[in-house]
Structure 1
Amino acid sequence: MSTDDTENGEGDEHDLDDNEKENDREQTQTSEDDEVIGPDVRERLGEGADKAIEQFDEGLIDLLAWMLETETRARIYISLRNEPDQTSDEIAERTGLYPSTVREALASLHDDDIVTRSKRQNAGAGNNPYEYSAMPPSDLVGDVVDDIQHHLNSVFNLDKYMDHSSESDNTSEPVTITVTEESDGANHDEANTDDDSTRKDIDDSEKDNEE
């Protein structure tokens, strides 16, 4: 074997070693990048999801606070819809509100027929506290619809209210809100009925054209 062949062979082996080391460095760097970027990205995504949920929750609470007059009543309502048959102490623990505040709000909600209450039946002897449940959201919406309708009609008739010389009726109610609650089955049957009626109209039209 010549000296050149030996030197070339050693050079090739040296080049292979360098390439392997370079590949190892690249893989190590990639792994390090994944370790640094991966958790950070996941954390940001998690924070974004939590923020979206928090904004939704706060928006819902704001809406219910408007409907129920106070944020305290709104938080109690949400707690009772999430977990019915709670005592005032259990509600206070779940919502973080003061027990005295919860009891006062529950009393007003009960007077407004928004929550119902009954004595909890304990196995042993002793004081049986009241446990509360909240009305369904559909009933709650139905109760506030009249107020919303009245306010909308007041805005609609604003010009008539301001025009004192006008002899037109200022008490007209052009805005009417109707709340209906239908089951999926009823909606499905109604949709099928509409489809059948449409097909019948098309068939009748085709017959008239043929004649």
Structure 2
Amino acid sequence: MRLEAITWDRLGDRLAERLLDLEPADGSARTRVALDGAPAARPGDLAERVAEALRVRGRPSLVVGTGGFLRPASLRLEYGHQDVESYYNGWFDTGALWREVFDPLGPGGNGRILPDLWDPVTDRATRSPYVPLPPGGVLLLHGPFLLRHWFPLDLSVHLVLTPGALRRRTPETEHWTLPAFERYDEEAGPSDAADVLVRADDPRHPAWSG
């Protein structure tokens, strides 16, 4: 696969331009996008850039991070603070993402989504109000392991790091998570599954294939 050098700002513009012409395949009135990547790849930053690029083009969007849909600590950390299996399969409340984000955006949905559910710092519900996404709007969901849950996505973007870059850019205290990303690559093949691939080894000089 050939990758083209690009700036982050230009990448946000290119993705926004692509989304302007994208029609949801299942008849939904709203477009659903995943920006998938390890925390070290900073998929949330790209989501915000795309949201800004959509805003100046007159298209509403909502940025939602899976970090706001963590399970309570009693479930998430049941097997310890550094259990790789739990991190891979049990940290994120995918059921809540389906219920509170994807179902309202599906065909016939009312478009009112919950932007976050759980605060991992206080380990309590955020009690955030529901936020409406009008017809024609775009959901920009960012986080790790997104392409293994069969979410109804209209566009998927995977930010990939080589193993060496992933290790360098991940804080040493989080190195215990690295085997989970290796497993994700082996089982889900996100680089092949994604509609758009972004190489983010050098945070100053990304490259993409879309």
Highest relative contact order (Cα 8 Å, sep 6+), 1 or 2?
2
Given the two structures, how large is their TM-score scaled by the length of structure 2?
0.19
Structure number with higher strand proportion: 2
Instruction: Give the helix-richer structure, 1 or 2.
Output: 1
Considering only CA atoms, is the larger Rg found in Structure 1 or Structure 2?
A: 1
